[in-house]
């Protein structure tokens, strides 16, 4: 049996559940799936035993230890967060033959440097000790999975653990078959976390200019706010510029339902600002927008350039004006559908889960 543990993702997370666990189940592998969230969803099936706990991290770790310690058929333990590494140490010392896997979703140092509000010195000291702590636990990790090739170049390049890069490519079943999604009423979408470093206020200001030229244009912001104050700021900005009829905010929905929203849209926007987080982590939404057959407007950052070059309308980071001009260009440009078709072709040939699925499954062979 394979035990997969997550302490801060939704149980139906697109990477953990929709890709990894479903791949294991398709290959007739049994999975013990332990999650910590406020969700009440139960994902148990014939091959998946799912247990969710809405408790503190310390209590969650205690419960998980008890569950997996009595499971005699356990062969693999995969964790998805740094704060779960003590669990790997605990189990490795208890059962040395257990295969342990650490799935690194994002470059953690850039994450901390982007979000921490501490002064520079305190922040760097905290990052140093966090890294020392992680290095200690990595001694008990057999395999490291990286969601992005740029993470390996920096944080884990000198580690002796077996490493494999497994990107967040979508499954082929989600690839759009629509040949032309453009119409006179452009439906624009951003989906994912709604936070300052991701440029939502830039996008709202850009929409003000877009709507002056194309009054029927609509923007959907789909996702959850990480900061309550930022939610107030975004809503206030929409109100100040009288954009309530053109900008809709929708709460996060189950991942499988996101595809329906994407399929009813025509333009996807990735308005990220340039910071340590966004220059190292590739946004999953890029591939989802490509697969959905959307024209894509994105700020010009290395992780996106790593995969595509001439099939995106490139905007300058932190520039509402540049975002507006490129959204308008994506609406009016006759070459937009050619870009969409090229993106669909790349997804179909290279950037799909089926193409890389065996990289993941080989870890459990």
Please indicate, yes or no, whether residues 67 and 216 belong to a single structural domain of this protein.
Answer: no
CA–CA separation, 206 vs 328, rounded Å?
Answer: 10
Q: For residue 117, what pLDDT is reported?
A: 66
List, in order, residues 6 or more apart from 78 with CB less than 8 Å away: 2, 3, 4, 5, 20, 100, 101, 102, 103, 145
Q: Are residues 206 and 326 in the same domain?
A: yes
In this structure, the answer to whether residues 111 and 195 fall within a common structural domain is no
200 and 286 together in one domain: yes
Residue recorded with tokens 């990595």? 138
Report pLDDT for 225.
86
User: How many Cα atoms are found within 13 Å in the side-chain-facing hemisphere of 201?
Assistant: 14
Give residue 22's pLDDT band: very low, low, confident or very high (50, 70, 90): very high
Does residue 354 belong to any structural domain of this protein? Answer: no
Residue identified by tokens 């990735």 is 270
Residue 195 sits in the same domain as residue 140:
no
SS3 310: coil
**Residue 41 forms part of a structural domain:** yes
Q: Examine the domain organization and report whether 120 and 46 are in the same domain.
A: yes
Choose between 286 and 127: higher pLDDT. Answer: 286
Across 289-298, average pLDDT = 95
Q: What is the pLDDT of residue 275?
A: 86
Task: Look at residue 67 in the predicted model and tell me its pLDDT.
Answer: 94
Between helices 200-213 and 228-240, what is the axis angle to 10°?
A: 20
Sign of CA dihedral 259, 264, 268, 269: negative
Of 145, 166, 187, which one is at a domain's C-terminal end?
166
CB 282 within 8 A of CB 210: no
| 109 Cβ contact list (under 8 Å, min separation 6) | 127, 131, 154, 155, 276
Whether residue 235 sits in one domain with residue 161 = no
Mean pLDDT calculated for residue range 251-273: 91
pLDDT at 148: 84
For residue 5, what pLDDT band results from cuts at 50, 70 and 90? very high
Which of the listed residues 139, 166, 193 is the one where a domain comes to its end?
166
- Per-residue pLDDT, averaged over 280-302, amounts to 93
293: left (phi over 0), alpha (psi -120 to 50) or beta: left
pLDDT, tens digit, 9 for 90 and up, residues 65-100: 999 988 888 999 999 999 999 999 999 888 888 999
- Both 28 and 64 in a single domain? yes
Q: Inform me whether the pLDDT recorded for 107 exceeds 80.
A: no
Residues 10, 39: contact at Cβ < 8 Å? yes
Task: For residues 250 and 294, state if they share a domain.
Answer: yes
Tell how strand 99-104 and strand 76-79 pair up: parallel
**Cα four-point dihedral sign 183, 184, 190, 191:** negative
CA distance 40 to 18: 17
Residue 321 in domain: yes
Q: How far apart are CA 259 and CA 263, in angstroms?
A: 6
**What are 197-254's pLDDT values in tens digits?**
889 999 999 999 999 999 999 999 999 887 888 899 999 999 999 999 999 999 988 8
Contact in structure between 18 and 256 (CB atoms under 8 Å): yes
- Residue 57 has a pLDDT of 95
Residue 358 is assigned to a structural domain of this protein: no
* 33 in any annotated domain: yes
Whether residue 136 contacts residue 93, with contact meaning beta carbons closer than 8 Å, is answered with no
Last residue of a domain, one of 166, 194, 212: 166
**Mean pLDDT across the chain, nearest whole number?**
89
> Tell me: the pLDDT tens digits for 273-283?
998 888 888 88
* Per-residue pLDDT at 265 exceeds 60: yes
Same structural domain for residues 39 and 186? no
What pLDDT score was predicted for residue 95? Answer: 86
Please answer whether residues 79 and 102 qualify as being in contact, where contact means their C-beta atoms are separated by less than 8 angstroms: yes
Which domain does 156 fall in, by range?
2-166
Q: How many domains does the chain have?
A: 2
Residue 177's pLDDT band (cuts 50, 70, 90): confident
Q: Say whether both 229 and 308 belong to one domain.
A: yes
pLDDT tens column, 318-351: 999 999 999 999 998 888 889 999 999 999 999 9
Average pLDDT over residues 159-167: 84
Q: Residue 124, SS3? A: helix
What's the confidence (pLDDT) of residue 78? 98
Residue 134: pLDDT over 60: yes
The verdict on 204 and 299 lying in the same domain is yes
Is residue 357, in this structure, part of any structural domain at all? no
| CATH number, residue 97 | 3.40.50.2000
Q: What is the pLDDT of residue 232?
A: 93
**How many other C-beta atoms can be found within 10 angstroms of the C-beta atom of residue 301?**
21
Q: Rounded to the nearest 5 degrees, what angle is found at the Cα of 181, between the Cα atoms of 179 and 186?
A: 165
Identify the pLDDT of residue 183.
Answer: 56
Q: Is residue 308 in a domain?
A: yes
Torsion on CA atoms 260, 149, 85, 52, rounded to nearest 10:
10
Flag whether 200 is in a domain: yes
Please choose, from the candidates 120, 138, 89, the residue with its C-alpha nearest in 3D space to the C-alpha of residue 128: 120
Structure confidence at residue 181 (pLDDT): 56
Six token digits for residue 31: 């999975």
């Amino acid at each position: 049996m394979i035990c997969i543990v997550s302490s801060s993702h939704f149980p139906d997370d697109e990477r953990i559940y929709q890709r990894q666990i479903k791949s294991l189940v398709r290959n007739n592998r049994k999975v013990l799936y332990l999650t910590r969230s406020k969700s009440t969803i139960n994902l148990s099936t014939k091959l998946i035993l799912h247990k969710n706990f809405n408790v503190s991290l310390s209590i969650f770790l205690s419960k998980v230890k008890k569950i997996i310690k009595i499971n005699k058929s356990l062969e693999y333990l995969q964790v998805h967060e740094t704060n779960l590494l003590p669990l790997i140490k605990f189990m490795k010392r208890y059962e040395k033959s257990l295969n342990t896997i650490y799935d690194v979703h994002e470059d953690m140092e850039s994450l901390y440097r982007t979000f921490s509000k501490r002064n520079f010195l305190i922040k760097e000291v905290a990052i140093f000790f966090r890294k020392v702590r992680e290095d200690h636990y990595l001694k008990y990790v057999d395999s490291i999975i990286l969601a992005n090739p740029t993470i390996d170049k920096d944080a884990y390049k000198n580690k002796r653990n077996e490493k494999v890069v497994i990107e967040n490519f979508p499954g082929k079943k989600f690839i759009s078959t629509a040949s032309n999604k453009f119409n006179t009423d452009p439906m624009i979408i951003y989906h994912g976390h709604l936070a300052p470093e991701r440029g939502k206020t830039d996008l709202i200001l850009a929409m003000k200019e877009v709507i002056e030229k194309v009054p029927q244009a609509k923007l959907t912001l789909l996702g959850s706010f990480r900061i309550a104050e930022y939610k107030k700021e975004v809503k206030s900005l929409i109100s100040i510029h009288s954009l309530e009829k053109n900008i809709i905010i929708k709460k996060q929905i189950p991942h499988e339902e996101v595809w329906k929203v994407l399929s009813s849209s025509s333009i996807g926007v990735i308005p990220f600002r340039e910071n340590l987080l966004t220059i190292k982590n590739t946004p999953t939404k890029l591939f989802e927008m490509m697969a959905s057959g959307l024209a894509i407007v994105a700020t010009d950052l290395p992780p996106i350039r790593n995969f595509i070059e001439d099939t995106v309308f490139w905007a300058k980071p932190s520039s509402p004006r540049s975002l507006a001009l490129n959204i308008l260009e994506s609406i009016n440009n006759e070459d937009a559908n050619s870009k969409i078709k090229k993106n669909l072709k790349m997804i179909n040939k290279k950037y799909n889960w089926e193409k890389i699925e065996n990289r993941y499954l080989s870890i459990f062979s």
